[in-house]
Amino acid sequence: MHLKTRRNNNFLWLAVTAFVLMTFSFAAGYGLRALMWAVHRGGFSALAGGLGEGGNSAFAAFPRVASRGGGGSVVSHGQVMGEVIQRLKELYVEPLASSDTLSVGTVEGMLDSLGDTNTRLLAAKEWTAISEAQNGAYHGLGAVLTIRRHQQAEEGGLPTIPTSQITVVAPMPGSPAEKIGLQSGDRITTIDNHWIAPAHYLKRTLNTYFEDTDYSLDPRMKHFREKQPDEERQQEALTADKLKKDREAAEHLRDQWRGSLDMESAIALLSDGSDGEHTITYERAGKKEPVTVKVTFAKTSVAPVVKKKLAAGVGYVQVRQVNAEAVRGLDQAISEFRTSGLKSLVLDLRHAPGGTIDQAQEMVSRFLKEGAVAILEKRDSARTLVKKPLEVKPVAQRAQFTQIAVLVDGGTAGAAEIVAAALHDAGVAKLVGAPTFGDGTEQTIFPLDDGAAVSITTAKMLSRKGIDFDGKGLKPDVAVASSEGEDRALEQALHVVHAS
């Protein structure tokens, strides 16, 4: 009887424990789902609503949102975030930042933790500039910019740290960027004497380094005194000198941080509609010293397609942006060249900084009859990584050129690289020029209610043959260094189509 009673009690406690755990998981799942709903439906404002007066937090809406059975560890992070925000409101000694600032900081921290510079928040001005650039209108510097991770050079004994910098993909023709000589791969580090700070995780790293390092004469060196040998006194002098240099370097960086711009604000300034003179500093691979130059911002309008007869039997099409207007321009060129009896084509994708993957598919479909344009690596609904071929589409008219040369350089990026790689992999074209930029990812941009947007890397783009060119670029069949000039590359392209 006693044994049976123990069994019944054990069973009762087991049932109670299971019920509590199920209830906790159910409530927690509600919480996580509500948080995602708040971000999706309300952008920053939904999260910010939970930080205002009166404690009407967005987290109070958790029980009203259906759950898909979220995991406990993920949900606990959401609960921790809610509790931290509440404690800040109640106890923080300094004036508290605005609700919007706290909300944006929360989202930025989440995105930064992914380690993907392309998955980030876009300020309202930057998002507007991107939208207008898709139609060929560029403001400010007149260059397509991205954030790319580079290895930061060691400075004054401070540690070498990989960091992210604003990088030029391509300057547009006739733009202020082109006039001051900016090139693909240049890294902009300063605007109007304001240093452009890397991602805030690096700032935290440097702050810790400043706080934990004693740059004064180290107290542990007190034993180097009256009876120390000459070599030890020399070592003391060397150590003291190094500590002094380290301290000066640290103070220099600290001053930079105090007056710095974050990268999102810097990109918005470089690409917004405000004209006027500015001073920028940029670094270039292979050059020791950075370059500082004055530049007058202005609006730059770029025709997506330039077409002409280049030589006997050879047509020329220059594409600046892979978009719907460029595809229409290509269709017109194909029709005109066919009527004129042109059999060869030079397709110029230099300084073509990308576009959309759908329009790349359309453009490639003008040249290929079947097969894949590219291979997309994506996550399915079960979060499994799958490879999906982006197939050639049936089109009304298809080009019938016997020889094609594709001009590429360091400004050929993204969707333009997909076009170049597809024609090359299919064996219908040779690449001429310099290695491409190496942007093999697809970003999807989701507008938010406050006018900003979030860019999320939704796919990795591989070439038709499955080659990963992200961060590497495409190597041309006929190499012509960018320093040799565009005419030299064009001469080589003509030689290719005549010799084929």
> Would you place residue 21 in the very low, low, confident or very high pLDDT band (cuts 50, 70, 90)?
very low
Q: What is the mean pLDDT of residues 409-414?
A: 95
The residue ranking higher by pLDDT, 418 or 34, is 418
pLDDT of residue 3: 30
Per-residue pLDDT at 35 exceeds 70: no
The residue ranking higher by pLDDT, 474 or 45, is 474
> Would you place residue 348 in the very low, low, confident or very high pLDDT band (cuts 50, 70, 90)?
very high
pLDDT of residue 110: 84
Element housing 131 (H / E): helix 124-133
Per-residue pLDDT at 22 exceeds 50: no
Q: What is the mean pLDDT of residues 310-335?
A: 93
- Alpha-carbon separation of residue 95 from 101, 104, 330 (angstroms): 13, 17, 58
pLDDT digits (tens, 9 = 90+) for 107-151: 888 888 888 888 988 888 888 888 888 888 899 999 999 888 775
> Would you place residue 482 in the very low, low, confident or very high pLDDT band (cuts 50, 70, 90)?
confident
**Taking Cα atoms as reference points, which of 305, 280, 277, 298 lies closest to residue 290?**
280
Q: Which structural domains are found in the chain, ordered by start?
A: 2-112 (no CATH), 120-300 (2.30.42.10), 303-499 (3.90.226.10)
Element housing 268 (H / E): helix 263-271
Chain mean pLDDT for the chain: 77
Side chain identity at 432, as an amino acid letter? V
Whole-angstrom distance, CA of residue 53 vs CA of residue 57: 9
pLDDT of residue 72: 40
pLDDT of residue 199: 56
Structural contact between residues 284 and 151, judged by C-beta atoms closer than 8 angstroms:
no
Whole-angstrom distance, CA of residue 448 vs CA of residue 453: 5
Determine whether 132 is exposed, middle or buried from the number of CB atoms within 10 Å of its CB (0-12, 13-18, 19+): middle
- Alpha-carbon separation of residue 276 from 63, 124, 338 (angstroms): 52, 20, 46
Strand partners, 346: 316, 405
pLDDT digits (tens, 9 = 90+) for 172-194: 999 999 999 999 999 999 999 89
Instruction: Tell me if residue 470 falls in helix, strand or coil.
Output: coil
pLDDT digits (tens, 9 = 90+) for 232-257: 656 666 677 777 777 777 777 777 77
Per-residue pLDDT at 63 exceeds 60: no
> Would you place residue 76 in the very low, low, confident or very high pLDDT band (cuts 50, 70, 90)?
low
The residue ranking higher by pLDDT, 120 or 79, is 120
> Would you place residue 230 in the very low, low, confident or very high pLDDT band (cuts 50, 70, 90)?
low
Per-residue pLDDT at 273 exceeds 70: no
Q: Which tokens hold the place of 142?
A: 């007149």
Per-residue pLDDT at 448 exceeds 80: yes
Structural contact between residues 370 and 464, judged by C-beta atoms closer than 8 angstroms:
no
Lowest mean pLDDT among 48-52, 196-200, 265-269, 404-408: 48-52
At 69, give phi and psi (nearest 5°).
80, 50
Side chain identity at 132, as an amino acid letter? E
pLDDT of residue 152: 57
At 399, give phi and psi (nearest 5°).
-65, 150
Per-residue pLDDT at 30 exceeds 70: no
Whole-angstrom distance, CA of residue 417 vs CA of residue 307: 20
pLDDT of residue 240: 74
Per-residue pLDDT at 225 exceeds 90: no
- Alpha-carbon separation of residue 374 from 331, 419, 426, 436, 494 (angstroms): 21, 9, 11, 17, 27
Per-residue pLDDT at 456 exceeds 90: yes
Residue 382 DSSP symbol: T
Tokens 């919007």 sit on residue: 100
At 446, give phi and psi (nearest 5°).
-110, 115
